[in-house]
Amino acid sequence: MRRQHVYVLASENAGHAAQAVADPGIVDILLWGVLPYVALVVLIGGTIWRYRTDQFGWTTRSSQVYESKLLRIASPLFHYGLAAVFLGHVGGLVVPKSFTDLFLSEDAYHMMALVVGSAAAIATIVGMFILIGRRASNSRVRSATTRNDVLMYVVLVLVILAGTAATLLSAVNPSGGLPPVNGHEVHFNYRETIAVWFRSLFYFHPEVALMVNIPVAFKIHIVVAMVLFIIWPFTRLVHALTVPLHYLFRPYTVYRTRGGQRVGARRGWDPVGTLPRERADR
């Protein structure tokens, strides 16, 4: 039988009630102590392998030529929404709670995260389902869809829906479904459990015990996210690693310009170097 020990302080009624955390079992060690490093190794190694062996396949394989009306709506919603979701995860997992406490109260932080995160999640989900519906309903776009694309969309849907469900459930039920401790309701806080575990991975000392008793919705979200990182190098998602940000700052490129004077009509096959061709090119 697992022993229980006290770790997180959190309660609204009792001021500070402790959340019990069970000692990790073998499954917990594999999920939270081994799988993250497997995902990281596959992500980095697979990306390098893909870049060295398949640079011509390093593309989004755009289907805009087949259909562009829905794509113009769905693509910005999905990509900008996903970028906002990613930045929100970085802020929530990487930035310590002790730092944000200097500027924001706990309630203000969670309200801001809920409002901004919900807006980003809605944009991402709407854009994603329009993209999926577009592929399913348009025969030409569907014919350009590979098995890798299907797998990618399935995992993406699971990651986004699981994350959204975890956020909404924790907003509705602050305990996250965790049992009371010492007769007091536990107020689950991912920044004192998941975020600490996430940062501990980079110290090569994963605090697996913090993940044992977190809500199931968060566990599903994190595990599926690690699966997404494992398949990432082998799908079209690799294009996210080479976003052409320089396009935002590059100057206009002049491909062809005309002189101020008008020239007469000429044959298009005048050889280079002949007098009519030289006059026309001035």
Q: Is 79 annotated as a binding residue?
A: yes
CA distances from 280 to 129, 219, 265, 268, 273 (A): 53, 70, 9, 10, 11
Q: Is 5 annotated as a binding residue?
A: no
41's tokens: 């190794």
Sequence ranges of the binding site for heme b: 79, 89, 221, 239
Sequence ranges of the binding site: 79, 89, 221, 239
